[in-house]
Structure 1
Amino acid sequence: EIATREILVDWQQQFPQALLLQTFTKPIFGKPTFFFEIIERRCQAKGFGEGNFRALFEAIEREQNKRGSLGM
């Protein structure tokens, strides 16, 4: 269910119960440059989803491909 809702999950090996849940809205203006990030921290999770960087980058690329604006 987490994947279908496009929620990214990050944790640190030394504290696997401390989860950071992260998702992003669709762009809110005509140009796809402004969106909101929503973060939920569980069990005192720290950080800003550093482990999700690659997944976020790939998601941005997929959205650009859908719009035909990737420039490939």
Structure 2
Amino acid sequence: MPRLPRCAWTLIASLLLISHHTIGTTATIGFLFAAAGWVVTTPAPLVVVASLAAWHLTSRHTPHRRRAHA
């Protein structure tokens, strides 16, 4: 499983905190379960597209190291 970049974890954490403060803990947890239920009940092609999008974000948009000039 590819590691998520730090900015992705920051985004996830900030979205969870914002939703916790605006709609409450119960609704936030309910939303997470609804998202998991969506993955289970959604037709396979949509899950594949979502998985490819997640893979693309985790593998292609990682922070790049600067190359040292020789």
Structure 2 length normalisation: TM-score? 0.27
Structure in which a larger fraction of residues adopt strand: 1
Structure in which a larger fraction of residues adopt helix: 2
Structure 1 length normalisation: TM-score? 0.26
